[in-house]
Amino acid sequence: MQLIDWGIVLGVFAALALVAIVTKRYVRGVAGFLAADRCAGRYLLTLSDGMAGLGAIGIIASFQQNYTAGFGPGWWGGIMAPLMLLLPLTGFIIYRFRETRVLTIAEFYEKRYSKNFRVFAGILAWVAGIVNYGVFPQVTARFFIHFCEIPETYISVGPFDFNLTLGIVMAILLATALLITFRGGQIAIMITDFFQAQFINIVFIILVFSLLLKFGITNVVETLQKAPEGQSMINPYDQADIPNFTLPFFLISAFNVIYTYMAWQGNQAYNASAKTPHDAKMAKILAAWRYGATWVVILLIPIFAYTFLNSDLFTEEAAVVQAEINALDNEGLQRQLTVPIVLKSMLPVGVLGLFVASMLAAAISTDDTYLHSWGSIFIQDVLLPFKKKALDKQQHLKWLKRSILGVAIFVWCFGMLFPLQEYIFMYWAITGAIYVGGAGSVIIGGFYWKRGTTAGAWAGMIIGSTLSVSGVLINNIIWPKLLPKWKEQNPDSQWLQDLPDAFWLDGMELFFFASALAIAAYIVLSLITKPAPGFDMDRLLHRGEYTIAGEHTQEDPHPNRIWRLLGINKEYSKGDKFVVISVFVWTLFWLAVFIFGNVYHLSVGTTEQDWISFWKFNIGTFLFVGIGTTIWFLWGGFRDLGSMFKHLKKVQSDPKKED
């Protein structure tokens, strides 16, 4: 990296620190620290929440996936189209969650089930969360070390060797996230994530055009066409020999989207930060538009990296890069860093700095959000239920900050010690299932089935978590680390020698089986122990006689049929209706393309040239729309930001009155 590149990175770093310092004045109590005083508008929410959910590790995980499977994931991801349409339009879970006026899902557990279950679920969510998050700083730090060519230094402590450079880089990233979180809580996190989202959208558009100019479409296509049969990088139906990221992965992912919708609590503060339930719902609907440019970059950069390593035009440069990749310690690390190492050889000065700065922003946006979430959950859902006397404001904030610091220390230690062996997406699936494997059934059943019982909730959660913990140990410790030693120590044990080098099920498949058994347990136990006449849902959701003034707009008793189909009522302005219709048309169009493409291929057949033409159209469309939505969300986000600051100047937070 050149001086100008480092200048860009340091400039972004300084800007984030400045925002954190400025926003401290607006945190006047626990409600502001935990949920930004519930004053976030839809554009601010959708951008900040999306940025927190993406993260540098999310980008790297997508690089892994798309370098392995090429354009295939871009096609099979079409399975998600109807889900991305129906879940936000119906306000699935998010609307009812906001109606309860709780700050976390675990508080919902207490209202819906019991205090003991709340504590158990809170502990489980926290443990799963910090174990899942534990690899984030490690993966991100390795990216910066290898991308920025930072020299690595090791120290020996007894029989163990530790990467000192890794520890220092992780500490810097976590310290920055702690600064933002401590200074302004959810207010600072949301505002910094908003600016980071806008910055990344713009940088990614620059990045795409820069790489297209360098490689040219013709060279990329010619290189991709050289892939062997069964490993096509273009045709999703010719990928029989590509592991992991094919149709079964995306079918389970579709189930995952529905089953775990809002169950995962890594960004739980955003669920409680909306002005109203309607704003929370609209933020989810707008999410369909926020990923245009990001999706193109995440798909194309691994394709460009593949082209660089396999094209005849870059033979000498590719040999040097491949040697650097081969020098990495293990296969898992090579999978993580292949695309980043290639990328640093592809980008020109200035653009290189912009990309590193965007990855820094993405890393911090996830770190501050996850530190805040898991630290808050430990206090709100594990410790506070045992406190008989309410904490005053200063005590409460002090406890929250100490808990957040504790999470940071844990993930730093975890990152130094834990050997990540799986693909990142697979690790996320199985570690997340420690909690969401059972939580999905408990949340959906709790919001939509009045016959769901506390016994059913306990059964679902215990079974889901037990199976998932077993999966984490099998795929990351037992099979890759212990099994080879056992085989070496027992050469005469035929059954042991016959075991495959990799476990039969990957993390995603283990997640599916754990979740399916948890659902069965929840339903069966609830039916056995069902109460009569059932749980009072009106009281939980503040409906009927429990309605809170100003929370809802009175519904039209005679709505238009089309509006009713789209979930539109009197809460929707003309602008809201336009957004809903645009999302509906956009999603329906790509769903139709997906269905037609599959039917056409299965009935008539497709050629590689057909798929090349499709991908040119697809990427061009998404890039064009991504530029437009970046401008649109820039306007909407700053409008919401101004509204938020006006509200924060007026509000006086009183922790005794928080709800």
Which one, of 364, 362, 310, 312, lies nearest residue 338 by Cα? 310
Exposure string of 486-498, with b = 16+ CB inside 10 Å and e = fewer, is eeeeeeeeeeeee
Is there a domain that residue 579 lies in?
no
Ranking 112-126, 156-170, 282-296 by mean pLDDT, the lowest is 282-296
Is there a domain that residue 292 lies in?
yes
Q: What is the pLDDT of residues 333-367, one digit of tens each?
A: 888 888 888 888 888 888 899 999 988 988 888 89
Tokens at residue 21, please? 């310092």
Q: What is the pLDDT of residues 185-194, one digit of tens each?
A: 888 888 888 8
Q: What is the pLDDT of residues 199-222, one digit of tens each?
A: 888 888 888 888 888 888 888 888
Q: What is the pLDDT of residues 461-473, one digit of tens each?
A: 999 888 888 877 7
Which residues form the domain of 539?
A: 435-550
Statement: residue 120 has pLDDT above 50: yes
Q: What is the pLDDT of residues 361-384, one digit of tens each?
A: 888 888 988 898 888 888 887 788
79 plus 10 within the same structural domain: yes
Is there a domain that residue 286 lies in?
yes
Statement: residue 562 has pLDDT above 50: yes
CATH number for 129: 1.20.1730.10
Pairwise CA distance, residues 426 & 487, whole Å: 25
Is there a domain that residue 616 lies in?
yes
DSSP for residue 161: E
Q: What average pLDDT does range 72-95 have in this prediction?
A: 80
441 plus 324 within the same structural domain: no
647 plus 506 within the same structural domain: no
Look at residues 550, 570, 590 and tell me which one is the last residue of a structural domain.
550
291 plus 414 within the same structural domain: yes
Look at residues 550, 575, 596 and tell me which one is the last residue of a structural domain.
550
104 plus 211 within the same structural domain: yes
Most confidently modeled range among 75-89, 320-334, 455-469, 559-573: 455-469
Helix residue ranges per DSSP H, 225-314: 247-259, 268-271, 277-286, 292-310
Q: Residue type for 240, please?
A: A
Q: Residue type for 204, please?
A: F
481 plus 416 within the same structural domain: no
Pairwise CA distance, residues 261 & 90, whole Å: 13
Pairwise CA distance, residues 217 & 213, whole Å: 9
Which one, of 171, 166, 172, lies nearest residue 417 by Cα? 166
82 plus 187 within the same structural domain: yes
Q: Residue type for 455, please?
A: A
Is there a domain that residue 567 lies in?
no
- Which residues, other chains included, contact 437 with Cβ-Cβ below 8 Å and sequence gap of 6+? 463, 464, 465, 467, 468, 511, 514, 515, 518
Half-sphere exposure at residue 241, Cβ-oriented, CA atoms within 13 angstroms = 7
Report residue 657's pLDDT band, with 50, 70 and 90 as the boundaries.
very low
Is there a domain that residue 572 lies in?
no
Which one, of 126, 560, 160, 194, lies nearest residue 372 by Cα? 126
Is there a domain that residue 484 lies in?
yes
286 plus 318 within the same structural domain: yes
Tokens at residue 253, please? 């992912």
Pairwise CA distance, residues 545 & 479, whole Å: 57
617 plus 649 within the same structural domain: yes
Is there a domain that residue 339 lies in?
yes
460 plus 400 within the same structural domain: no
Tokens at residue 515, please? 């979740």
Look at residues 501, 528, 550 and tell me which one is the last residue of a structural domain.
550
Pairwise CA distance, residues 20 & 25, whole Å: 10
Pairwise CA distance, residues 454 & 150, whole Å: 53
Number of domains the chain contains: 2
396 plus 520 within the same structural domain: no
Tokens at residue 314, please? 């870059």
501 plus 469 within the same structural domain: yes
